[in-house]
Structure formats: structure tokens, C-alpha cells
A = this chain, B = another copy of it.
């Protein structure tokens, strides 16, 4: 069970080898990789800068990971989130959930992503090819996804 905030990219194969090593109780691993897109509403993006709240970020990611472990039967999990300046096509986030059965792995990965988007203190600033910069606005659909999980647990 690991969370990491890093300016460096991640190696998915290496992370998976590390996370699953020696545990043959794992039957399925679900992963999600979020990437920087090259266009926003048809406008070419030059870069995306990710700011975060050191200390709180790790606390929130650990809280989210712990909540995923409480809800699903997991063998291991990993959250890596990058910060700093990223380019189109760059990886932003990696969520990896290992479980005896695939349904738990899938559900936990989706749960972590929904909660991360609603609670983890990261902020994206877009710099467009035109030179214009803009802080990304939160999407209501992310809050709704997290709210749906909260309702399920009641």
C-alpha cells in the first residue's frame, strides 16, 4: 500500500513487478493511467502544470487508499501522482489495485480515481500554445462520481 508524489515519470511494468512480487494470491491487477491531452476544447495545449499541497496530498491519498481497502478485498495498491510541468502525452497519474478477483481490482481502481479527483489537493494549470494560461475548473461530474460511492456505502 503505497502513495507517491513525484515530478518523475513512472515505469508501469516495474511498479507492477514490485507491487505483485511474491504474492501469488493476486488473480487480477487493474490499472489506470491518466494522461495530458493535447487539446482542450479544440485549443492546442503547450503544457500543463500541476501544483499540490505537500503533506495534505499524501494524507488524502492514504485516506483514499485506506477507504478502498476497507470497501474492497485488495491484496495491494499503489497511487502515483506527478506534479510540476507536463507536456501533452505525458502521464499524470497511476492507480494500480491488486486483488484475488478482478471485480474488486476494477472497482477499487475506479473508486480511487473518483475520490482522488474530488479530494486529493492537486490543481492543474493549462498553458496554451497561444500563451494563454488558465486554471482548470473542477467538473461537477467528478463530485457526482464520488457522491455516488458515498451513497453506496450508506
Residues in chain A within 8 A of chain B (CB atoms): 11-14, 16, 20, 24-39, 88-89, 100, 102, 105-106, 109-110, 113
Contacts and interface: CB of A to CB of B under 8 A. Distances in A.
B27 A35 contact: yes
Q: Which secondary structure characterizes the binding site on chain A?
A: mixed
A91 B20 CA distance: 11
How many copies of the shown chain assemble into the complex?
A: 2
Given A13-B11, A13-B12, A106-B110, A37 B26 contact: yes
6 contacts: A28-B35, A29-B32, A31-B32, A32-B102, A32-B105, A106-B113
Contacts of A24: 35-39, 88-89
Contact of A16 (B14, B33, B34): B33
Contacts of A13: 11-14
B102 A34 contact: yes
B26 A35 contact: yes
B12 A25 contact: no
